[in-house]
């Protein structure tokens, strides 16, 4: 456990000081841990601290004697790493969380910095009053993933009477500008549901590649708890990654969120069709296309060589489908004949605002100006892909975003300049405890 905490601290330090991606750091660090429990703790600490970063910093601002902006990075990382498990992981004793944080800071920044971390954390944790009971107190209550809240003895958050959005941003760990956007677009009730979903751990959801009853029986034989997820092919596990990996290796299932599973069926695939999967990495939807296609041709493309290598490795999963993974240029015409595909999937790069609990850094890296820049890329992808669609064919445009600029507005702008485009059946799904958020629309070619 000590090594797992040290590895988590290193990942969080690289994230805070170098802008490193937490996921990439985790992939390397997990290989150094043999015990699944250690790997689980490492993942929980690294993702959890970043997911609840806004709340942690609000509490630390209320409890520290110095402004957070004036702290050395090692001290700031240590404070977050010590506070997160003490507040949100019931199985981790306070003393273990604080002692490790203090020790790590001492090794990195010296005894004086360690003393500051020790005093700040212990003083802040003494201010807890226990589980919040009765009516919610937005000045003192820290929401937890399970729907409960931890109450502090005195106010620790911004006064909602003066700035309700600032209070929501702090308690639910989300940038204020995003809270304001979602309230304007969807209303206060929907904003609350989105924020609640954003602090949850994403479920492990399987897409069945065999009859669902067969996979259910296979899971029962191994004592794996599960329930039926949204959609006809989804089974949701109780966070059991090892069982999910075994089911994938056995060819029985693929790990894929329930909302993601709903995109490919919108292509209305039939045997023998020619299908292009644009922006295909890491390949979950490509495998789903092959499973539904049975026979035909599938070309999965991406602009990054490493991602194309990942797509190439999926060839054994494609059954009788003629499968090809190719690298394509990021700009200009795609290297295929016009009208050469019956179906095209454009799963466009986006802001990820529908999957913030998975892409934990995205909320902190994203800014308002990024949405317009992404929309330009998305419109370009849509135009390049549509030229390859045969008359009478279908294109599905999808994102993991909730933002109109990346969804309805992209499609409307494209259709206004493409007389053969016939958009229909737009579908927006909001994030929930059961599934991610996202958007998709079917575009037929007249």
Q: Is position 350 annotated as part of the catalytic site?
A: no
* Contact present, 190 and 172 (Cβ < 8 Å): no
Name the DSSP letter for residue 400.
S
What per-residue string of b and e applies to 56-90 under the rule 16 or more CB within 10 Å gives b? bbbbbebbbeeeeeebeebbbbbbbbbbbbbbbee
Q: Are 9 and 48 spatial neighbours (Cβ–Cβ below 8 Å)?
A: no
Between the alpha carbon of residue 408 and those of residues 49, 181, 423, the distances in Å are 33, 16, 10
Instruction: Please measure the distance between the N-terminal and C-terminal CA atoms of the chain and give it in whole angstroms.
Output: 60
State phi, psi for 255 to the nearest 5 degrees: -75, 115
- Identify the CA nearest to 419 among candidates 397, 388, 443: 443
Phi, psi of 23 (to 5 degrees): -60, -45
- 8 A C-beta contact, residue 167 and residue 160: yes
- Residue 324's DSSP bridge partners are 299
Of 179, 279, 350, 400, which one is the catalytic site residue?
400
Q: Burial level of 383, CB count in 10 A (0-12/13-18/19+)?
A: middle
CB 402 within 8 A of CB 428: yes
Catalytic residue IDs: 400
């Amino acid at each position: 456990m000590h090594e797992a905490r040290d590895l988590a601290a290193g990942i969080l330090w690289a994230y805070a000081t170098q802008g490193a991606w937490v996921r990439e750091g985790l992939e390397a660090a997990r290989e150094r841990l043999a015990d699944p429990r250690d790997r689980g703790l490492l993942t929980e600490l690294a993702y959890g601290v970043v997911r609840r970063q806004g709340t942690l910093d609000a509490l630390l601002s209320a409890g520290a004697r110095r402004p957070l902006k004036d702290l050395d990075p090692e001290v700031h990382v240590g404070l977050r790493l010590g506070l997160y498990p003490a507040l949100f992981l019931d199985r981790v004793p306070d003393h273990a969380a604080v002692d490790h944080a203090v020790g790590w800071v001492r090794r990195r920044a010296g005894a004086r910095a360690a003393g500051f971390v020790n005093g700040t954390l212990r003083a802040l944790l003494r201010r807890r009053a226990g589980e919040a009971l009765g009516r919610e107190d937005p000045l003192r209550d820290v929401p937890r993933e399970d729907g409960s809240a931890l109450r502090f003895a005195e106010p620790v958050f911004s006064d909602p009477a003066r700035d309700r959005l600032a209070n929501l941003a702090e308690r639910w760990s989300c940038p204020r500008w995003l809270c304001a956007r979602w309230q304007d677009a969807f209303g206060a009730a929907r904003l609350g549901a989105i924020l609640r979903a954003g602090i949850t751990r994403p479920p492990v959801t399987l897409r069945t590649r065999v009859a669902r009853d067969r996979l259910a029986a296979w899971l029962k034989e191994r004592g794996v708890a599960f329930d039926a997820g949204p959609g006809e092919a989804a089974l949701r596990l109780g966070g059991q990654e090892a069982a999910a990996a075994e089911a994938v290796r056995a060819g029985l299932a693929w790990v894929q969120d329930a909302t993601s599973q709903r995109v490919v069926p919108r292509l209305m695939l039939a045997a023998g069709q020619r299908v292009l999967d644009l922006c295909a990495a890491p390949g979950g939807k490509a495998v789903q296309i092959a499973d539904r296609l049975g026979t035909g041709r599938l070309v999965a493309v991406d602009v990054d060589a490493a991602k194309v290598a990942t797509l190439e490795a999926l060839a054994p999963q494609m059954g009788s489908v003629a499968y090809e993974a190719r690298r394509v240029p990021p700009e200009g015409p795609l290297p295929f004949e016009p009208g050469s595909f019956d179906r095209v999937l454009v799963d466009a790069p986006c802001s990820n605002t529908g999957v913030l609990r998975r892409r934990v850094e995205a909320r902190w890296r994203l800014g308002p100006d990024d949405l317009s820049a992404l929309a330009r890329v998305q419109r370009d992808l849509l135009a390049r892909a549509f030229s390859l669609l045969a008359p009478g064919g279908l294109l599905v445009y999808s994102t993991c975003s909730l933002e109109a600029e990346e969804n309805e507005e992209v499609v409307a702008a494209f259709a206004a300049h493409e007389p053969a485009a016939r958009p229909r059946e737009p579908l927006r799904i909001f994030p929930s405890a059961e599934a991610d958020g996202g958007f998709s629309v079917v575009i037929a070619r007249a």
